[in-house]
A and B are shown apart, each in its own frame.
Chain A
Amino acid sequence: MSKDQELMSDVDLDRLLALATTPKLDAAFESQLLAKINQTPINNVVPFPPRGRTKSWLVGLPLAASLALGLWLGASGTGLNILPITSTEVASTDIGGSTGFDDLVSYIEGETS
């Protein structure tokens, strides 16, 4: 016979559980508790003031305006005319004939070709 078969049934367990103590508080508890509440300082927890909510469309407005301006300038071709000329020139990036990673390795190894 297995161990489970030796154990009592659920019905039997429920019969025994039904006889367990049901504790009850006496009526004085309530008055004691409320007397204690009376002694407790009121509002000892101060809530944070609510944060002012920014209107989301106000944030989006300048972004949308900027996008619209960019599209208009790009589409009409007038954007290039109003940009400063110097900004359209490509700056010289000649740094002594170095061509990239291979030159860097040579430089580290002491070669100066």
Chain B
Amino acid sequence: MTVSTIGKGKDGKVVGVAEGQRSNWCDASDADLLAAAAKQNQQAFAELVLRHYQVIYRISWRLCAGHVDAEDVTQEAFLKLWNNPNQLREAGALKGWLIRVATNLVMDRFRKKPMQDLEAAAEIADPAPNAPTTIDQSFIAKRMDAVIAQLPDRQKLALTLVHFEQMTNIAAAAAMEISVDALESLLARARRGLKLMLAQDGKLMLAALSPEGE
């Protein structure tokens, strides 16, 4: 029997839950899971975590510029939900709520830590200064991560939600608690900023991607 996820044991401790047991909750809606989590049902909460933690981690990772803090931020966001699930009035707003909490946690961390520490610990190393003679996909990935990391926070978040998380403009604007017009403005500025930053080596990377460039 494969242990697929985590749940509540006989003594109330969190233990592995087999596939059959997990199915109790995997068909439940977010609203049902939240209601159960409010009654301290850890299995229901585990299902909520399973559904959303990858998205929240990806967004935190992007906002933290690949810093290891992204894991802590993700964990903290879910702990906030576990500590008080009642603060969320609508289950439909769960994803947006988690995104906002994670974003605020990232901002708090960046405010508390001196920027030098964060830059020193940043995991996204910009490969541009020491550009290799061959531009491969891993180089392009690192370079793109690095230029995205240089965008202002709100532009970075807007780009992450819409481009990387495939959220609609309406959903992303709701998650950021701004108007759709404001989101579109952030997106336009983010894209222009990226184009400006990639003005030099962007063409080289594109050439490397084209069949003739290989």
Measured CB to CB, the residues of A under 8 A from B are 6-8, 10, 12-17, 19-25, 29-38, 40, 42-45, 47
Contact = CB atoms under 8 A, between A and B. Distances in A.
B6 A30 contact: yes
B169 to A, nearest CB: 15
Contacts of A20: 141, 144-145, 148, 164
Given A29-B53, A37-B45, A21 B141 contact: yes
B75 A33 contact: yes
Per DSSP, chain B at the interface is helix
Shortest 10 CB-CB contacts between residues of A and residues of B: A20-B144, A7-B195, A38-B14, A23-B61, A34-B6, A45-B84, A34-B14, A19-B140, A25-B57, A8-B202
Per DSSP, chain A at the interface is helix
A17 B5 contact: no
A34 B49 CA distance: 9
A37 B42 contact: yes
A24 B148 contact: no
Contacts of A19: 137, 140-141, 144, 209
10 contacts: A15-B206, A16-B209, A17-B144, A21-B144, A23-B70, A30-B5, A33-B53, A33-B75, A34-B42, A37-B82
Contact of A25 (B54, B79, B192): B54
Contacts of B74: 25, 29, 33
Given A6-B199, A40-B82, 20 more contacts: A7-B196, A7-B199, A8-B199, A8-B202, A8-B206, A10-B191, A16-B144, A16-B198, A16-B209, A19-B144, A21-B124, A21-B142, A23-B61, A25-B54, A25-B71, A29-B71, A29-B74, A30-B53, A33-B79, A38-B13
Contacts of A30: 5-6, 46, 49-50, 53
Contact of B205 (A16, A29, A38): A16
Contacts of A17: 144, 163-164, 194
Interface in B135-182: 137, 140-142, 144-145, 148, 163-164
Contacts of B45: 34, 37
Contact of A22 (B6, B40, B58, B142): B58
A33 B163 contact: no
Chain B interface residue bracket vs A: 35 or more
B198 A13 contact: yes
A47 B38 CA distance: 12
B32 to A, nearest CB: 19
